Amino acid sequence: MPVFANDWQDLLAPEFEKPYYQELRRFLVREYRTATVYPDMYDIFNAFHYTPFHNVKVVIVGQDPYHGPGQAHGMAFSVRPGIPIPPSLQNIFTELERDLGIAPPEHGNLVPWALEGVFLLNAVLTVRRGEPGSHRGKGWERFTDRVIEILGEREDPIVFFLWGQDAQAKRSLIRNPRHLVLQASHPSPLSAHRGFFGSRPFSRANAFLRAVGKKEVDWRLPRTLAELEAYLAEREAPLRARGLLPSRPARRA
């Protein structure tokens, strides 16, 4: 059974057959059976489901999923509706307001960005509850490095946001000079004042997209939970009904 119902399937199918991924899958089966692991196993690949390869305009590279209850749902920096906004995301919203004048929403759900073509990729796609970094070195980095490499080879220009040293270590995987790579410190409270604030990534990304003849990203998010629910009913539900998103949360890894 295919993992994806979009163009990521053909691009990544060879990875699923490689020994490292088979070992990673066995590790995940054990972990989900014996520990509390985030995100839910059906949400691991949501970034891919919501943003097909051909739709990618901007790539935001994160680290691990959030490791607290109810937070992670398969998209870097994003949390489920109704979950308090984590500090790094609060800082992203602060920079968004300073850059484009967009007031922060009352929630931290970035599905609208994903549907706009913002690929929210963590370097590691799973984590044990309360144990940040617990699934590093198990194979996810090899998989997501290949994803970044594929995106970095694409002829159609993309903007890459590499925030923090871990993300910036991926720079060598982005080989096509047509892409725009924007580097800054990580938006966490420990480092946001060392170069993230004032970096203006959102306006710079849109200026680049305009220059290469592409539609800008609409960085606005629904302000309230009620507006978010209405947005998802309008935009997400039809895609799910057409089979472009899973009819239930994303399948097992």
Q: Are 52 and 8 in contact (CB under 8 A)?
A: yes
| DSSP output for 58-111 | EEEEE-SPP-STTT-SSSTT---TTSPPPHHHHHHHHHHHHHH-PPP-SS---H
Neighbours of 200 (CB within 10 A): 16
249: its two tokens: 């949360």
Choosing from 7, 10, 40, 64, the catalytic residue is 64
**Catalytic annotation present for 64:** yes
Q: What are all long-range contacts of 96-105, with beta carbons under 8 Å and residues at least 24 apart?
A: 96/202, 96/219, 98/197, 98/198, 98/200, 99/200, 99/201, 99/202, 99/203, 100/202, 100/203, 100/219, 102/219, 102/220, 102/221, 103/223, 105/221, 105/222, 105/223, 105/224, 105/228
Helix (H) or strand (E) segment spanning residue 240: helix 225-241
For residue 156, what are the CA distances in angstroms to 115, 136, 169, 228? 18, 31, 23, 31
Active site residues: 64
